[in-house]
Amino acid sequence: MPPVSAALLAQILAAGLAGMSLEGITPEQRVLLLNYLLLLQRWNATHNLTAVRDPRDMIPRHILDSLAVLPFLEPGLVVDIGSGAGLPGIPLAICRPAQDFTLVEPAAKRVAFLRSVVAELGLTNVQIAPLTSEHYQPEILPDRIISRATAPLARLDQMTSHLQGPHNQVLALKGPGVEEELADWPRAASLDIRCHDLHIPDQPSRKLLIWRSPVQMP
């Protein structure tokens, strides 16, 4: 694949942010987002972190998709479950430098990549937890639990049951098939689940589901 100029990538990012009414992201944050994307492209060549290879496609499918959560992300500690290559945690942390993020990811090669990103981009608000979600046992519950295509809703609920409580929120980014996932999740009927449509330029429709458990789960 021939190299793509930094100027072109910056233009694609700027157009996407404008289309999502996220123009408030600063020039410095945009540089960090593009530097993250270039690191992802470089590591992807040998570590296969994502199936998306072209950085022009990575912008809408990874960066903008992650940032679509910003208007719904309230303050407090955010735990990104099954962070993978840092999505959505890294783009969100770049754009919310005063908010703390913990990326929970068990795969060694992805953990190595995340640590490299944090070091090279100087992200002091990001911690890496090299664990499965079930083995991540913080002393204090996070304020926000977020997941992007980690598992079906019923499984995600099970994976994070020990992290959920009446004072925090779960945010799940979902694509097509979310209705089937809801139908296969018996506990959904007892929850007040808010569903928001996310509009990412030139991408299929996405949804953000947000819920809060009425009590801490056993």
Find how far residue 48's CA is from the centre of its chain. 18
83 annotated among ligand-binding-site residues: no
Check whether 148 is labelled as a binding-site residue: yes
Contact yes or no for 211/170 (Cβ under 8 A): yes
Judge whether 134 is annotated as a binding position.
yes
* 82 assigned ligand-binding residue: yes
Q: Is 87 within any annotated ligand binding site?
A: yes
- Annotated binding-site members: 82, 87, 133-134, 148
- Annotated binding-site members for S-adenosyl-L-methionine: 82, 87, 133-134, 148
